[in-house]
Structure 1
Amino acid sequence: MATVVVISVDGQGGLWVADLDAGTVLPLPVPKAGGLKVVTDLRATGATVTKGVNVAVTVKSAEAAFSGHYDG
């Protein structure tokens, strides 16, 4: 099973790589080619792209998430 996800948030620029095993989140350089370039181009038009993710929600803070709250 994949333990790395590429994420972005509406209204924020750029993509991020979250390595769940390492517990890290790092900015991803702007893709110049390949599948992530296509995703980046689609995102720029307002599209939402998901694959292999079954939950993704935004929260105001980590504290809100740990308390069970999300922006819904």
Structure 2
Amino acid sequence: MRDHPVIEQINRTGFPNMISQPVHAGIDYFGSEILAGDEIVIDENTGEVVLKENLEDYLVEVYEFRFTTAE
């Protein structure tokens, strides 16, 4: 009788290394997960934390900035 495939994999490779998982550091304004080492921006006016990659969306949504190309 064979073991379940997951058990066979654990027997071959050992248990997954749980230490290598990224450290969760919170959630930003848009609900995106923030991990240790991520670049964030803090809005001192509201206290909101935003991932740097979401900054443009935040400026448009909260402060109604309009991004365009100069002519």
Query: Smaller-chain TM-score range?
Result: under 0.3
Larger helix proportion, structure 1 or 2?
2
**Which has more radius of gyration?**
2
TM-score, normalised with respect to structure 1: 0.21
